[in-house]
Amino acid sequence: MVQITLAALKVLGVFLDDPGKPRYGLELMRLTGMKSGSLYPILARLERFGWLESAREDIDPGVAGRPARRMYRITDDGLQGARIERAALYEHLRPSQGIIPGILRPKEHPA
């Protein structure tokens, strides 16, 4: 069972925005505003449970002028799971009908 924290959902949210697009760590740090020390444990966990898969970028470092990055891609399981988790979060955050009934208006005081 994957333990999905808000931070993990934030990372998954980036993948959900464009599921086919591979992402790398620094890009995810920029998009989520997370520090490297927070991001990589999440990526490792999601990869361990098969929600993400990673592969070394297929470039020639000599031509590209930089080392190859490790690119992460969301799997079908991850896509399905992330959508369910995000829906569950929205449901959890939605105002309950029992707490705020109808339209809010100032309390009427007897004259």
Partner 1 sequence: MKGTAFVLSLIVLPILVALIQKELEGWLLLLPKKVLELACRRVPHNNREILRDEWSAELHEILHGLTERPLSRLFLGLRYSGSLLIAARKVSRELAGTRSDQQAMADETPDDRIAAAFLRRTAADLMTMQISAHVKSSGWRLNRRNLTDLDKVRRRLIRQLEHNRDFTDQELREIVYRFNVFGDENALLIMQAMSILPPHEP
Q: Would you tell me which residues interact with partner 1 (CB under 8 A)?
A: 24-26, 35-38, 40-41, 44-45, 48, 55-56, 60-62, 66-70
Q: What's the token pair of residue 60? A: 């020639």
Q: How far is the CB of 21 from partner 1 (least distance, A)?
A: 18
Q: How far is the CB of 8 from partner 1 (least distance, A)?
A: 11
Please say which residue, 49 or 79, places its beta carbon nearer to partner 1.
49
SS3 for the chain, per residue?
A: CCCCCHHHHHHHHHHHHCCCCCEEHHHHHHHHCCCHHHHHHHHHHHHHCCCEEEEECCCCHHHHCCCCCEEEEECHHHHHHHHHHHHHHHHHHCCCCCCCCCCCCCCCCCC
Please say which residue, 22 or 25, places its beta carbon nearer to partner 1.
25
- Say which residue the tokens 């569950």 belong to: 88
Q: How far is the CB of 75 from partner 1 (least distance, A)?
A: 17
Please say which residue, 37 or 95, places its beta carbon nearer to partner 1.
37
Please say which residue, 16 or 68, places its beta carbon nearer to partner 1.
68
